Structure 1
Amino acid sequence: ERLCECGPDGQVTCQEGADCEPYEECRIENGVQACHPTGCGHCLANGGLHYVTLDGRVYDLHGSCSYVLASVCHPKPGDEEFSIVLEKNSAGDPQRVVVTVAGQVVGLARGPQVTVDGEVVTLPVATGHVSVTAEGRNIVLQTNKGMKVLFDGDAHILMSIPSSFRGRLCGLCGNFNGNWSDDFVLPSGAVAPNVEAFGTAWRAPGSSLGCGEGCGPQGCPVCLAEETQAYEKNDACGKIRDPHGPFAACHKVLSPLEYFRQCVYDMCAHKGDKAYLCRSLAAYTAACQAAGAAVKPWRTDSVCPLQCPAHSHYSICTRSCQGSCAALSGLTGCTTRCFEGCECDDHFLLSHGVCIPAQDCGCVHNGQYMPVNSSLMSSDCSERCFCSPNNGLTCHEAGCPSGHVCEIQAGVRECQAARGLCSISVGANLTTFDGAHNAISSPGVYELSSRCPGLQKNVPWYRVLADVQPCHNNDKIVSKVHIFFQDGLVTVIPSKGAWVNGLRVDLPATVLTSVSVRRMPDGSMLVHQKAGVTVWLGKDGLLDVMVGDDLAAMLCGACGNFDGDQTNDAYGSQGKTPIEKWRAQDFSPCSN
């Protein structure tokens, strides 16, 4: 009924009538009294084929594309916006789950291998709005606002969505409005005529060419009753629904019928292949344990055996996350559930997927666990930290040399030779991204590079202006650089410092959103935009503007369009020279 906030000056302000939104209630959770969701909805994607929506609609979709499972299509202020995408290979098998939360992209893949914004990380990890942990055989992602994704690294994906998102979602998991009959809604708002049309509508951007829905000319597998009888027995899929079997205690918590149906279908479609029986039993096990239900052992040396690495053993109910080096080091985020999987032997702890003596555990840096003898580069490559068995965590200054950009390749962040490099040398000689040469003949402020207006907005916007002035020996150099971002302006002057929105800042500093500014040991200045542009300005007036391949053919300015063709970097307009065309009009001292 009343919301009070403590301001930066210590003043407390209260707002009357701060009622909770629909499907929220006022209660204390994790020590915080606030409006919290009243519950959660659950969506299942299993085997790359079987789906149960948040409202309980059951369907099968044969498809080899990547699909949006759930996304916030109707956001409201204060939302933790997210999307969940299932990436599949050409055979239709799940390969990766990509979860985007508030702009942060987390990939969950087999291995397990987890990436955050393209960089491979060691589990557990807590960064931004998400934490990711290894729990038994599963990877579990949790967000600050309570959304959860469980992926077993094979084919079973279980999503838990807070009730505060009811009626505001879209994708293969449905709209979460409590009515299963309208779950097949298209982006247009119309209802899909069939499941294939529904799947086509929710293909994820970047789906492979030639992918599609349906089973092709041969048709989808059809199993007759006499064919399925053998798979329904208690020594096969019947084990799932057996009232006296290993899953009996789970039946009241999570109905076995859909998992049983999927198991029978998959075994029949694959001619009794026991791998699909094991996959189905493991999926129901994970779902039951995620719901807090007990499961009795069902694996044996001859039935779906699970091989465990050295110094570990199989357990039907292990808390592997709590029994890890990271947990010992103070990293939290583990779920309260136990899951089947491999458990370290006594006196051993889990570190990067292997069990090691407790005294050999590694380090923790910025919410991420580091095994011994591993290193970690900062997001702008300005610092590298190393975990040593003798000295623990040590960090030292790094930084990329001129002509190099801090990039992630094959999941590893390193200084890479810039493929998109535009430079200005002493004398104001300019080389474009595509290698064309030109010269700035007269002093002034010039538009070097920006994302062209009207183009797609999936890469950050920026605008780089160079102030070219004559030096003492009359050689023209870049005296300062103005860099505009979506939320502000950064100005850097070699050996003098940096200004953000007109205010001088102490360096190094993270400024604006995902922008860092740093003075290098030689006095040069480095401005780095995450997933965008990097600008290096030397104290002698040399300038490098560096961009990644994702900005190719999207750029405007004197540095060219970065399309691989240097011939179109030299065209001017209206009788002006190519460089004069790019004078910054908002910095021009005189009007034309």
Structure 2
Amino acid sequence: DGNYFQLPSSCNYILTSHCSASYEDFNIQLRHQVVNNEATISKITMKLQGTVIELTKGSLSVNRQIVTLPFSSSGVFIEKMTSYISVKAVLGLVAMWNEDDSFMVKLDDKYKNQTCGLCGDFNGIQVYNEFISDGTFIFIYLTMGKYICNLLGCFTLLYTDNKESLISCSRNYAVLCMKDLCHCNGTSGSFCLCKSIGEYSRQCVHAGGKPEEWRSEYFCPHPCPESMVHQECGNPCTDTCTNPEIGQVCEHHCIDGCFCPPGTVFDDIHDTGCIPHSECSCVLGGKIFASGENYTSSCRDCTCGQGQWNCIQKDCPHSCSVEGGSHITSYDGKAYTFHGDCTYVLSKHCAKQCTEFTVQGDLVKCGVTETETCLKSVTLALLDGTNVSTKKD
């Protein structure tokens, strides 16, 4: 409902759950811990319509079985999206974790006023009938006097180095920044500030904004693999050698993380980072061909270019067949079953001016069930008027 609060405890908490129905569609719990004076989310447990998912750094299990990504089963799809792990459930839930300190849940409107946990009751009203005990907001754990300690420093740091674009999203994070800095000691102040602004930037995105690149080499740097660059608002659908245009049809809003520079794609064939699209390899029959390599068969010559095969077809005969009265194999090797009861065009020359040949077949019922059909006759009609018919007798 848009309320902001802080909860520094390292207990295991219910973040959100479906709590006003006889059957609990979802229950999401998380635990955070402090390692080397830095707060992080150590474990996330998700129960989604009976499927139990456990997320920890470097490990993912579904129903207590270790799985690899991407994973899909029982109405749940889990994938890696740049710097995030995304969990989608058909019940109407999407969760994203950056494998560190940020976790977000998006919930379908059908669950309004039906949730419990730290995320509130989803009724559209802040601090209404939630987080209150005897009329007191139960998460206020420090006096405001302590928050003044870094008020000036927080605003100064937020406004330096052309960071004004971050201030346009919400004033709530100015208070959160003060709280975080008050809890930081002399060695972790930079960490606390960068984490606060980082989450502030994410909330800008969720609210429909597009934050600029506020990080630099000297202010809250974010290291990336050698071939990648950090973006505060990048496309989460990564273009790859095998799918170089997926980013153009991405339905997700931008996220922060490490991305391939413009003009490059991720090499998902060799898993070696970002390369120019022109250098992508091709795969055929489990074998990898480098860009520029050729593949030749009896019917075509192909050259690998930009991860795709460019082929020249040779004059090579192909066959089509009807067997068993219903089992059809096309010229290109497509096999399927068709139980008909009529005269059908098996093949014809589809020229605009004239049709050189037409092959027709009579498929008829020949048994007691609908799936028993026979090929009764075949007729070949040629352009010069010749007709050739064959029947089973």
Q: TM-score, normalised by structure 1?
A: 0.40
Equivalent in 184, 189, 200 of residue 284 of structure 1: 200
Deviations 1:463-494 (A, max 9, x none): xxxxxxxxxxxxxxxxxxxxxxxxxxxxxxxx
Deviations 1:156-208 (A, max 9, x none): 222222221122211222222344321137xxxxx577666x8xxxxxxxxxx
Deviations 1:353-405 (A, max 9, x none): 86255746899xxxxxxxxxxxxxxxxxxxxxxx96559xxxxxxxxxxxxxx
Shift of 1:225: 5.9
Counterpart for residue 164 of structure 2: 245
Counterpart for residue 177 of structure 2: 263
Quick check: 1:349 aligned with 2:266? yes
Equivalent in 205, 210, 227 of residue 311 of structure 1: 227
Structure 2 contact 149–178 (Cα < 8 Å) conserved: no
Shift of 1:71: 0.7
Shift of 1:84: 1.0
In the superposition, relative to structure 1, how do residues 177 and 312 fare at CA in structure 2: closer, same or farther (>3 Å)? closer
Quick check: 1:322 aligned with 2:322? no
Q: How many correspondences in the alignment?
A: 278
Counterpart for residue 119 of structure 2: 173
Instruction: Give 3-state SS (helix, strand or coil) of 2:44's partner.
Output: strand
Counterpart for residue 100 of structure 1: 47
Instruction: Give 3-state SS (helix, strand or coil) of 1:246's partner.
Output: helix
In the superposition, relative to structure 1, how do residues 310 and 126 fare at CA in structure 2: closer, same or farther (>3 Å)? farther
Instruction: Give 3-state SS (helix, strand or coil) of 2:52's partner.
Output: strand
Instruction: Give 3-state SS (helix, strand or coil) of 2:128's partner.
Output: helix
Deviations 1:113-153 (A, max 9, x none): 54333444444444332333444433332222432223222
Shift of 1:102: 1.1
Name the aligned partner's letter for residue 8 of structure 2. Answer: H
Equivalent in 336, 340, 351 of residue 256 of structure 2: 340
Counterpart for residue 538 of structure 1: none
- For structure 1, the residue ranges without an aligned partner over 5 or more in a row are 1-54, 186-190, 199-213, 364-386, 392-592
Counterpart for residue 528 of structure 1: none
Shift of 1:261: 1.7
Equivalent in 217, 220, 229 of residue 151 of structure 2: 229
Equivalent in 88, 95, 102 of residue 32 of structure 2: 88
Alignment of 1:6-45 (within 5 A): none
How many Å separate the matches in 1 of 2:29 and 2:136? 21
Of the two, which has the highest radius of gyration?
Answer: 2
RMSD: 4.0
Counterpart for residue 102 of structure 2: 156
Structure 1 contact 124–326 (Cα < 8 Å) conserved: no
How many Å separate the matches in 2 of 1:320 and 1:70? 25
Structure 1 contact 100–106 (Cα < 8 Å) conserved: yes
How many Å separate the matches in 1 of 2:204 and 2:115? 25
- For structure 2, the residue ranges without an aligned partner over 5 or more in a row are 290-393
Alignment of 1:127-206 (within 5 A): 127-179=73-125, 180-184=127-131, 191=133
How many Å separate the matches in 2 of 1:83 and 1:348? 37
How many Å separate the matches in 2 of 1:107 and 1:331? 29
Structure 2 contact 147–178 (Cα < 8 Å) conserved: no
Structure 1 contact 349–356 (Cα < 8 Å) conserved: yes
Name the aligned partner's letter for residue 154 of structure 2. Answer: E
How many Å separate the matches in 2 of 1:334 and 1:132? 16
Shift of 1:333: 10
Quick check: 1:73 aligned with 2:24? no
Name the aligned partner's letter for residue 348 of structure 1. Answer: V
Counterpart for residue 299 of structure 1: 215
How many Å separate the matches in 1 of 2:209 and 2:70? 24
Deviations 1:533-575 (A, max 9, x none): xxxxxxxxxxxxxxxxxxxxxxxxxxxxxxxxxxxxxxxxxxx
Instruction: Give 3-state SS (helix, strand or coil) of 1:172's partner.
Output: coil
Name the aligned partner's letter for residue 225 of structure 2. Answer: P
Shift of 1:320: 4.2
Name the aligned partner's letter for residue 138 of structure 1. Answer: Y
Shift of 1:245: 1.0
Q: TM-score, normalised by structure 2?
A: 0.58
Shift of 1:293: 1.5
Structure 1 contact 65–90 (Cα < 8 Å) conserved: no
Name the aligned partner's letter for residue 106 of structure 1. Answer: I
**Higher relative contact order, structure no. (Cα contacts within 8 Å, ≥ 6 residues apart):** 1
Work out the percentage of aligned pairs sharing the same amino acid. Answer: 23
